Amino acid sequence: MLLEPDSTAGACASRALHWPVANGQAGYRIVNRLQAGAAGELLRLKNGLLASRAHVDPKYFYDAAGCALFNSICVQPEYYLTRTEAKIFARHGAEIARHLPAGVQWIDLGCGDGQKSKSWIATVDASRYLGVDIAPEALERALRQIAAHFPALDCAGVLSDFSQMLSIADIIAERPQATPVMFYPGSSLGNFAAPHAFALLKSFRENVGSHGFLLIGVDLVKDARVLEAAYDDAQGVTAAFNRNVLRVVNRLLDADFDPRRFAHWAGFDRQASRIEMRLRSTLDQWVRIGSDARKFRAGESILTEYSHKYTVDGFADLLSKAGFARQRVWTDEAGWFGVFLASG
């Protein structure tokens, strides 16, 4: 594999990363758009934990253990999201593909291991695969597998924390003949509060241009009991996933959170239309966070995640305000999950 030094990153010079060549053909390259300012990120993480209403950005869930726990959440009976989306893809994939021109470039946002894209690449007959992820190991694995599975496919990767901003228009422009399709499944947009979600959708629209597409999966508003069970499964996998963020924090900030002293909590706020996940201190305790320390009272909590739930009309409206004039939606029979194809 080739890791291309990213000259366009300018002042936020790329970290020097060296990856072993995955195979003799080295059929893909990875562009590094991770900003060098990791110290600022850590300061933000620390300040969030020291704030009177403590909070952690959900992107910190996904270390190796967190990724494994998330995969296990996806197969819990209560976590209907992944399964419902997959059912919509299976049922309507061919129809969705008919709305796309031939030979698109398939842009997999937050590709993880790339598994969700495999059948799409074949269905839409993509000419190019662009994996985008914040985790270099996952990105490399995705590219290696997809390049092996589709030897004729033009494959590339972009290391990027696009929760800040997505800017890959120049990479997309390398293939002016291949219509860009951004694929953002799993209701991942739900992590972002309204203004941030809107800004992200606008940047997706700017990156794909007026001829490109966005294919996005969105979890829909439903009975609070169904929602809350999805974020508090009987096996306790979501609880373990939530507590694992404290281990990540301990490593990154040299802190001494004891995950056993925090209880998983999940609740649906209908006003704000979102699931909130928290870690509640089970007793009065002091926690050291690097060279600082703070007290958590019994019952005081750390906000670890929002997961926003949309209505079909509400999300359609958001898409059109973000600049996507044309759109279609497919849902399951129960109307639990929506898959939107937007363009224009």
Q: How far is the CB of 73 from ligand AVJ (least distance, A)?
A: 5
CA 322 to chain centre: 19
**Kind of pairing between the strands at 285-289 and 274-281:** unpaired
Does 244 bind ligand AVJ (CB under 6 A)? Our answer is no
Does 73 bind ligand AVJ (CB under 6 A)? Our answer is yes
Single out the residue of 93, 112, 190, 338 in contact with ligand AVJ (rule: CB under 6 A): 190
Does 187 bind ligand AVJ (CB under 6 A)? Our answer is yes
Q: How far is the CB of 190 from ligand AVJ (least distance, A)?
A: 5
Single out the residue of 3, 34, 81, 221 in contact with ligand AVJ (rule: CB under 6 A): 81
| Cα gap 107→274, rounded to integer Å | 27
Single out the residue of 146, 305, 324, 339 in contact with ligand AVJ (rule: CB under 6 A): 305
Does 238 bind ligand AVJ (CB under 6 A)? Our answer is yes
Considering only 4-12, 35-43, 88-96, 183-191, which stretch makes contact with ligand AVJ by CB under 6 A? Answer: 183-191
Nearer to ligand AVJ, 27 or 186 (CB): 186
Neighbours of 226 (CB within 10 A): 13
Give yes or no for a contact between 120 and 183, defined as CB atoms under 8 angstroms apart.
Answer: yes
| Cα gap 335→80, rounded to integer Å | 12
Single out the residue of 231, 296, 337, 340 in contact with ligand AVJ (rule: CB under 6 A): 231
Does 76 bind ligand AVJ (CB under 6 A)? Our answer is no
Nearer to ligand AVJ, 172 or 245 (CB): 245
Single out the residue of 105, 191, 244, 281 in contact with ligand AVJ (rule: CB under 6 A): 191
Nearer to ligand AVJ, 59 or 99 (CB): 59
Give yes or no for a contact between 159 and 171, defined as CB atoms under 8 angstroms apart.
Answer: no
Q: How far is the CB of 160 from ligand AVJ (least distance, A)?
A: 17
Single out the residue of 157, 186, 212, 259 in contact with ligand AVJ (rule: CB under 6 A): 186
CB-based closest residue to ligand AVJ: 307
Torsion of CA 31, 153, 180, 333, to 10 degrees: -120
| Cα gap 63→58, rounded to integer Å | 11
Size of site (CB under 6 A) for ligand AVJ? 11
In sequence order, what are the beta bridge partners of 98? none
Handedness of CA 87, 90, 91, 94 (dihedral sign): positive
Handedness of CA 327, 59, 118, 18 (dihedral sign): positive
CA angle 152, 155, 161 (to 5 degrees): 165
Single out the residue of 32, 127, 301, 307 in contact with ligand AVJ (rule: CB under 6 A): 307
Torsion of CA 218, 219, 220, 225, to 10 degrees: 180
**Kind of pairing between the strands at 213-219 and 262-269:** unpaired
**Footprint of ligand AVJ (CB under 6 A):** 73, 81, 186-188, 190-191, 231, 238, 305, 307
